[in-house]
A and B are shown apart, each in its own frame.
Chain A
Amino acid sequence: MSALVIEALGRRVGARRRLVLDGLSLRVEAGSVAVVLGPSGSGKSTLLRCLAGLEPFDAGRVALGTLEVPPGGQAALLGRVGMVFQSVELFPHLRVLENCTLASRLRGEAEPEREARTWLERLGLLDRWDAWPQSLSGGERQRVAIARALSCRPAALLWDEPTSALDPERKREVASHVAAVRDRGIPQVVVTHDAELSAALQASRYRLADGRLTPLPAGTG
């Protein structure tokens, strides 16, 4: 695995070309975690969407291993950077295992189920492989979403407010999931305003404000 490098990322949105990301830079080494804190509307979602390849950026670059992404080239990140959505977004018409294998099946992989089964097992969901998403609890759904993202062997993983939809009991588990992914050497970016999660993670912490990141001293959340 290699580092996720973000250099001088710029992004304007809307008819008034509001500046949301203003030369934002960040380097996340393989196997490390960056936590991005910041109020709503500070551009956290825009940052994640740019890194996932869902939104273009106007300036700067993103690098991931040998992949170099210039402005306008964000589509190259699709399928390479995984994302755990705030709203989870399981596919309701597919069973748990099908959710995790859809992408690898469509890519024509020889063993589309292998990685999916590995992650479902690690996350304690293997016995739920043929359940429909609607029959799962909130915590289980999120674990399926994590397994689904990792089944595609992403080179980086993004988390968008991973604790917002969970009850307090389940919130604590998220930190252990992040740690499990870190052990695989995958660089991760966690966007949250959950101070408890931030404190539970072994990570570098940043605050996003005015379109840039400011490192926060260790020990603050």
Chain B
Amino acid sequence: MDAKLLNPFIQAAVEVLKAEVDANVSRGEISMQKSSLTSDDITVLINLIGDVYGVVMYGMHKNTCLNLVSKIMGQDFIELNSLAQSGMAELGNVISGRATIRFSETGYKSNISTPTVLTGNGVEISTLDFPRIVVPLDTQFGILTVHLALRTKTPGETYNPEEFIPLINVPPSQNVF
């Protein structure tokens, strides 16, 4: 994975956390991981599709999530109900959206998917052959860890449907590609 994809996300995360919850963010040590990610209490998963493609995950402890959501929504959350999950998903959405705007400024256009929220720690999330860059962001609310498993295509390169079928052969009559 290209390190130039990293900065837009970190900048976006710092800006959004500053604006939404007035957080003082300090960046932890960046690491590159090839193994699958063992999920934290809450993981917000957002896919990118386009010139920059792959998956971004925001992992955090339950308390961090509750602190952040309580601050954003202006009411105290004591359990991780659907409203709290929705708030956290929205935070991931805003950070990813802002990062993709920065990508598009450099010519890489991509879209983000709707967020998916995974709760429950200890399951493994595999990004297959995409290595992940892991950046912990330390705030006064707790640590938010950003996992990036992204790749780039040449900007404007047309979409190549052949990417779909390396393993499974669909017979010609059903071959809709």
Partners in one complex: no
